[in-house]
Amino acid sequence: MRAQNCVGPHTRLEVVTEGVLTRMIQRDPELSGVGLVILDEFHERSLQADLALALLLDIQQGLRDDLRLLIMSATLDNDRLCQRLPDAPTIVSQGRAFPVERRYQPLAAHLRFDEAVAMATAELLRNESGSLLLFLPGVGEIQRVHEHLASRVGSDVLLCPLYGALSLEAQRKSDYSRAGRDA
């Protein structure tokens, strides 16, 4: 949860953003007590992620040769990263690829954003089979679209809102391994 710190003396794994990692390095340049830093979804290149990697490599070279780094991504350009880290081992795991189709649907200009998104999504669910993953800008939009969409779809559609502030139990409802139609 945002702005919550649940770290204690027995903590073995701490999940932080790249920005929080940068602040941790500023406070403790040696990252005392940290044995491994995992940079996940590294293909989502950002200034913060690149800065985090640069700082971590600097720590490894100058302060902590025992600090281990693990860079992970399902769609990473391995060749470019291997040029930057020539001595790092690379593990490639062949996963299942699922066909994904992107569609652009202009929204009805006379409706509010959340109403227009719900209407377009309901139409798509009526006309197509399969599951749908809908990305929205924030929690408020997710909640309002969910509310509007719930009255527009049939009982065969399971609506699973997902965002960071949801309880773990609510997040688990979004497990895509179940059979049926999901949105």
Encoding tokens for residue 129? Answer: 């089979």
Q: By the 8 A CB rule, do 29 and 60 touch?
A: no
Which range has the worst mean pLDDT, 54-63, 68-77, 138-147, 152-161? 68-77
Residue % of the chain over a pLDDT of 90:
13
Could you give the domains of the chain?
1-96 (3.40.50.300), 113-182 (no CATH)
Q: Per-residue pLDDT for 17 more than 60?
A: yes
Whether residue 105 contacts residue 120, with contact meaning beta carbons closer than 8 Å, is answered with yes
119 vs 107: CA distance, rounded Å = 9
115 pLDDT band (50/70/90 cuts)?
very high
Q: What is the mean pLDDT of residues 105-115?
A: 88
The single-letter DSSP state of residue 181 is E
**158: β partners:** 182
CA distance 150 to 22: 41
Each residue's pLDDT tens digit, 33-49: 888 888 888 776 778 88
Q: Round to whole Å and give the CA distance between 170 and 162.
A: 8
Residue of 90 and 22 predicted with greater confidence: 22
Question: What is the reported pLDDT for 138?
Answer: 86
Token reading at 86: 């020539």
Do residues 122 and 153 touch, judged by C-beta distance below 8 A? yes
